[in-house]
C-alpha cells in the first residue's frame, strides 16, 4: 500500500486529537497529492518545522525539539515534551513504545496517535499485527476507555431493576436522543439486569428541562420509561438535580455521545446495541 506524505503546518486546537485530525483533513484538501485508492490508507504528517520535501523516515527534523533514540527510557518524556511543543494546547497523557521499532504511541485523552522519536511525523490510523491480524490500536483504545464500575457515583443515576437485577449496566443518555430510545426499547427485553441511567442532557435545551422533570418526578424510573418508551412527557417539576454533576462526570470520562454504555467489567460501548450483541456483552462482563 502506498502512503502519501503530505507536508503541512499542523495546527492543534485545545480539543486535542480532534484538532490534529482537522489539521490533517485541511492539509489533504489544500495539498495536491496522489493518494492510494484504498480508503484504509493512513496519512503521515511531517511537522511544520520541515521543508516542503519530506525527510526520510527516522531523520531528525530540521527545527523544534529533537529526541535522540539513544536516550532509553528518557526518550518517552522527551517525546511528550516535543509533541506538546509542536502542538500547543494538546495535553499528552502518556507515551509508550509500540512493537513497531521506532514508532511510539502518544495518548491524548482516550485516543492515540503515533510518532517517531523525533516527533517529525504523526500517524493517525490502526496499527495491525500482520501475523495475528490483530488491530492493536483498537485493543488499546478499548483499554483506555474502560471505567471501573465501582467508581461510578450510582446515587446520581435513575435505577431500574428487571428480574433479579444481578447483572449491572450503566448508561449515559439524553432525553431527546433517538438512539437512546432505541436502546431503552431493547433493554426492556433483557432480564435479570439493573440499569443505572445517568441523565446526560447535551443535545437540546429541552433536554435539560426533560431531565429535570424526570428526575424530580415521584417515580423517576417510571417517568423515564414513559418518556423514552411511550413518548409520554413528564409533568413539570422542580427540585435539586444532579445534572451538573453528571455533565462533569461525563466530561471527566470523555463521554462524547449518547447512549454510552458502561458494563460491569469496565468496558464501554457508544451507541445502541442490538439485543443479541447486548446479551453477549452482558454475559461476557459478568
Contact between residue 119 and residue 82 where contact means Cβ atoms under 8 Å apart:
yes
Write the DSSP symbol of residue 111.
E
Contact between residue 108 and residue 59 where contact means Cβ atoms under 8 Å apart:
no
CATH homologous superfamily of 149-284 equals: Glutaredoxin (3.40.30.10)
pLDDT at 177: 97
**SS3 per-residue string spanning 139-197:** HHHHHHCCCCHHHCCHHHCEEEEECCCCEEEEEEECCCCHHHHHHHHHHCCCCCEEEEE
Q: How far apart are CA 202 and CA 79, in angstroms?
A: 35
pLDDT at 219: 97
User: What are the pLDDT digits (tens) for 133-150?
Assistant: 999 999 999 898 899 999
User: What are the pLDDT digits (tens) for 62-95?
Assistant: 333 444 444 456 889 999 999 999 999 999 999 9
Residue whose grid cell is 441511567: 197
pLDDT at 34: 31
pLDDT at 74: 83
Domain ranges of the chain: 17-144, 149-284
pLDDT at 109: 86
Which pLDDT tens digits describe the chain residue by residue (286 residues)? 322 222 222 333 333 455 565 544 444 344 333 333 333 222 223 333 333 333 333 333 333 344 444 445 688 999 999 999 999 999 999 999 999 999 999 999 889 999 999 999 999 999 999 999 999 999 999 898 899 999 999 999 999 999 999 999 999 999 999 999 999 999 999 999 999 999 999 999 999 999 999 999 999 999 999 999 999 999 999 999 999 999 999 999 999 999 999 999 999 999 999 999 999 999 998 8
pLDDT at 60: 37
Give helix 220-230 / helix 205-215 axis angle, nearest 10°.
140
3-state helix, strand, coil in the chain (%, to 5): 35, 20, 50
Q: How far apart are CA 239 and CA 246, in angstroms?
A: 16
User: What are the pLDDT digits (tens) for 263-286?
Assistant: 999 999 999 999 999 999 999 988
pLDDT at 19: 56
> What is the longest distance spanned by two Cα atoms in the chain?
67
Amino acid at each position: 500500500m502506498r502512503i502519501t506524505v503530505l507536508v503541512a503546518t499542523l495546527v492543534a486546537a485545545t480539543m486535542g486529537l480532534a484538532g490534529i485530525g482537522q489539521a490533517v483533513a485541511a492539509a489533504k484538501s489544500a495539498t495536491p497529492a496522489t493518494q492510494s485508492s484504498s480508503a484504509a490508507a493512513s496519512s503521515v504528517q511531517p511537522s511544520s518545522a520541515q521543508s516542503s520535501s519530506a525527510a526520510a523516515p527516522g531523520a531528525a527534523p530540521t527545527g523544534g525539539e529533537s529526541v535522540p533514540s539513544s536516550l532509553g527510557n528518557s526518550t518517552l518524556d522527551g517525546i511528550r515534551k516535543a509533541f506538546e511543543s509542536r502542538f500547543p494546547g494538546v495535553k499528552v497523557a502518556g507515551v509508550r513504545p509500540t512493537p513497531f521499532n521506532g514508532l511510539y504511541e502518544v495518548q491524548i485523552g482516550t485516543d492515540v496517535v503515533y510518532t517517531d522519536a523525533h516527533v517529525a511525523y504523526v500517524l493517525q490510523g490502526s496499527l495491525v499485527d500482520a501475523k495475528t491480524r490483530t488491530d492493536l490500536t483498537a485493543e488499546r483504545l478499548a483499554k483506555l476507555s474502560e471505567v471501573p464500575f465501582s467508581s461510578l457515583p450510582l446515587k446520581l443515576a435513575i435505577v431500574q431493576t428487571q428480574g433479579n437485577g444481578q447483572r449491572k449496566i450503566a448508561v449515559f443518555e439524553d432525553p431527546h436522543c433517538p438512539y437512546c430510545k432505541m436502546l431503552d426499547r431493547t433493554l426492556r427485553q433483557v432480564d435479570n439486569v439493573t440499569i443505572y441511567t445517568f441523565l446526560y442532557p447535551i443535545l437540546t435545551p429541552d433536554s435539560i428541562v426533560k431531565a429535570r422533570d424526570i428526575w424530580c418526578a415521584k417515580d423517576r424510573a417510571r417517568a423515564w420509561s414513559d418518556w423514552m418508551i411511550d413518548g409520554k412527557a413528564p409533568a413539570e417539576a422542580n427540585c435539586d438535580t444532579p445534572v451538573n454533576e453528571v455533565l462533569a462526570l461525563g466530561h471527566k470520562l470523555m463521554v462524547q455521545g449518547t447512549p454510552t454504555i458502561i458494563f460491569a467489567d469496565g468496558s464501554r460501548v457508544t451507541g445502541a446495541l442490538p439485543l443479541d450483541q447486548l446479551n453477549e456483552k452482558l454475559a461476557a462482563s459478568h
